[in-house]
C-alpha cells in the first residue's frame, strides 16, 4: 500500500517495472466513472424530459379544456339568449292567447246574453202565442156559441143589427157633438187669450197709474244731502260693461255685476236712506230698451233711497 491507496496489482513488486498498466487502470476507472455519471445524467435528463413533456401535455390539455370551456360557455350564452328570446316570444304568444281568450270569453258572454235575450224573447213570444191561442180558443168557443145562438134565434140577430145601427147613429151624433165642443173650446181659448192680453194691458196701465200716484204722494227725488254714486251701463262687442264712480272719485271703475251689487249693498248700510243711485245710459250704448230699463229698475228698486221709502 502506497500513499494511502490500496495496491490492487497481482505483483506489487513489479510496480516499478510497469507504469502504464496502472495508468490504464486509472483511466479505465475514470472512464467507468464518466460512463456511470453520463448514464446517471442521461437518466435524469430523460426523467426531466418526460416530466417536461408531461407538463407540456398537461398545459396543452388545460388550454384545450379552457378553449372547450370557453366555447361551451359561449354556446351556453347563445343558448341562454336564444332561450330568453324564445321565452319572450312564448310570453307574447301567451299574452296574445290570453287576450284572444278574453275576447273569446267576452264574445261568448255577449253571445250568451244574446242567446238568453233571444230565448227570453222566444219564451215571451211563446207565452204570447199561448195567450193568443187561448184567446183564439175562447173566441172560437164564443163564436161557436154565437153561431149557435144566431142559428137558434134569427130575431136576436136582427135586433142586434138594429142595435148596431142605432149605436152607429149615436156615435155619429156624439162625433158631431165632440166637433162642436172642440170648436167651442177653440173659441174659449181665443177669448181666454184676448182676456190675458187685456189683463196685461190693464196691469201696465195699473203700473203707470201706480207710478204716477207714487209721484203725487211722494216728495220729488233729489240728490241734495244724499250720497251720490254714478253707474254707467253699456254694451260693447255683445258684452255688457258696468262702470262705477263713488262720491268724491274722479274716474270710473269697471266692475262686474256681483261686485257692483256688493258695493252698493255696503254703501246702503253705511248711508241708510241717503244713497242716491244715478244710472247713466250713454247715447250709443248698444243696449235695447228692455235691457236698459230692466237694469235701471233693478238697481233703483234694490239700492236707491227713493224706492226704499
Q: Is the residue at 234 inside a domain?
A: yes
**Ramachandran quadrant class, 248 (left: phi over 0; alpha: psi -120 to 50; beta: rest):** left
Q: Is the residue at 149 inside a domain?
A: no
Instruction: Show the CA angle centred on residue 273, arms to residues 269 and 276, nearest 5°.
Output: 95
Per-residue pLDDT 10s for the chain (309 aa) are 445 555 545 555 554 445 556 778 788 888 888 888 888 888 888 888 888 888 888 888 888 888 877 777 667 666 666 666 665 656 566 666 667 777 777 877 776 677 677 677 767 777 776 776 777 677 777 767 767 776 776 776 677 677 778 877 887 887 787 788 778 877 777 777 777 777 767 766 666 666 665 565 567 778 888 999 999 999 988 889 999 999 888 899 999 999 999 999 999 999 998 899 999 988 888 888 899 899 999 999 999 988 876
Picking from 138, 158, 185, the residue at the C-terminal end of a domain is 138
Neighbours of 274 (CB within 10 A): 13
Collapsing DSSP to helix, strand or coil, 279 comes out as: strand
Look at strands 227-236 and 239-245 and give their pairing.
antiparallel
Q: Is the residue at 55 inside a domain?
A: yes
Q: Is the residue at 201 inside a domain?
A: no
In the chain, how many domains are there?
A: 2
Q: Is the residue at 281 inside a domain?
A: yes
Q: Is the residue at 176 inside a domain?
A: no
Q: Is the residue at 206 inside a domain?
A: no
Picking from 84, 107, 138, the residue at the C-terminal end of a domain is 138
Separation CA 180–CA 186 (nearest Å): 10
In what helix (H) or strand (E) does residue 309 lie, and over which residues does it extend?
A: none
- Structure pTM? 0.34
With b for 16 or more beta-carbon neighbours within 10 A and e for fewer, the 188-222 pattern comes to eeeeeeeeeeeeeeeeeeeeeeeeeeeeeeeeeee
Same domain, 25 and 116: yes
Look at strands 253-255 and 275-280 and give their pairing.
unpaired
Which residue range(s) make up the domain with 60? 18-138
For 101-144, write each residue's pLDDT tens digit.
Answer: 777 778 777 766 776 776 777 677 777 767 767 776 777 777 67
Same domain, 128 and 239: no
Contact predicate 273/305, CB 8 Å: yes
Contact predicate 243/252, CB 8 Å: yes
Instruction: Show the CA angle centred on residue 181, arms to residues 180 and 187, nearest 5°.
Output: 95
Picking from 138, 170, 205, the residue at the C-terminal end of a domain is 138
CA–CA distance from 212 to each of 170, 208, 216 (Å)?
Answer: 61, 6, 6
Q: Is the residue at 292 inside a domain?
A: yes
Give residue 237's Cα distance to chain centre.
39
**Adjacent-strand bridge partners of 239:** 236
Amino acid at each position: 500500500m502506497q500513499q494511502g491507496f490500496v495496491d490492487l496489482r497481482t505483483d506489487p513488486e513489479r510496480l516499478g517495472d510497469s507504469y502504464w498498466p496502472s495508468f490504464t487502470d486509472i483511466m479505465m476507472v475514470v472512464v467507468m466513472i464518466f460512463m456511470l455519471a453520463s448514464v446517471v445524467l442521461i437518466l435524469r435528463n430523460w426523467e426531466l424530459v418526460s416530466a417536461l413533456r408531461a407538463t407540456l401535455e398537461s398545459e396543452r390539455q388545460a388550454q384545450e379544456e379552457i378553449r372547450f370551456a370557453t366555447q361551451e360557455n359561449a354556446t351556453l350564452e347563445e343558448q341562454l339568449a336564444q332561450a330568453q328570446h324564445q321565452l319572450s316570444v312564448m310570453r307574447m304568444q301567451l299574452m296574445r292567447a290570453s287576450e284572444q281568450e278574453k275576447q273569446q270569453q267576452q264574445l261568448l258572454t255577449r253571445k250568451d246574453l244574446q242567446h238568453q235575450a233571444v230565448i227570453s224573447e222566444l219564451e215571451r213570444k211563446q207565452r204570447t202565442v199561448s195567450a193568443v191561442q187561448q184567446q183564439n180558443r175562447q173566441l172560437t168557443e164564443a163564436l161557436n156559441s154565437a153561431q149557435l145562438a144566431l142559428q137558434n134565434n134569427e130575431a136576436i140577430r136582427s135586433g142586434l143589427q138594429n142595435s148596431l145601427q142605432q149605436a152607429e147613429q149615436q156615435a155619429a151624433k156624439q162625433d158631431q157633438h165632440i166637433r162642436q165642443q172642440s170648436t167651442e173650446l177653440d173659441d174659449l181659448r181665443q177669448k181666454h187669450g184676448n182676456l190675458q192680453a187685456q189683463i196685461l194691458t190693464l196691469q201696465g196701465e195699473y203700473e203707470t197709474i201706480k207710478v204716477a200716484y207714487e209721484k203725487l204722494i211722494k216728495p220729488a227725488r233729489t240728490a241734495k244731502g244724499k250720497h251720490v254714486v254714478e253707474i254707467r251701463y253699456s254694451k260693447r262687442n255683445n258684452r255688457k260693461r258696468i262702470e262705477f264712480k263713488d262720491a268724491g272719485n274722479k274716474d270710473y271703475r269697471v266692475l262686474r255685476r256681483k261686485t257692483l251689487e256688493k258695493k252698493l249693498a255696503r254703501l246702503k248700510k253705511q248711508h241708510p236712506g241717503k244713497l242716491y243711485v244715478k244710472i247713466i245710459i250713454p247715447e250709443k250704448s248698444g243696449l235695447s230698451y228692455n235691457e236698459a230699463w230692466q237694469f235701471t229698475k233693478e238697481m233703483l228698486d234694490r239700492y236707491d233711497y227713493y224706492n226704499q221709502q
